Amino acid sequence: MRLIRVRSLSYTYPGAEVPALSDVSLELAEGEYLAIVGASAA
């Protein structure tokens, strides 16, 4: 069973010239885990 679906997500920080995220798509099903980490491991 799909719990979350993201399609074509893009995000640009205020004042930035290029997007930090561009055209991201994903699906998470029941029981799956997702970790999003960056340079700071946040």
Q: Which residue has 């994903």 as its token pair?
A: 26
DSSP 1-42: -EEEEEEEEEE--TT-SS-SEEEEEEEEETT-------TT--
Rounded to whole angstroms, the Cα distance separating 7 from 14 reads 22
| pLDDT tens sequence across 1-42 | 889 999 999 999 999 999 999 999 999 999 999 888 877 755
> Considering the entire predicted model, what is its pTM?
0.64
The predicted structure's pLDDT at residue 42:
54
The predicted structure's pLDDT at residue 36:
80
The predicted structure's pLDDT at residue 1:
84
Q: Which residue has 């205020």 as its token pair?
A: 14
Two tokens, residue 31: 């029981």
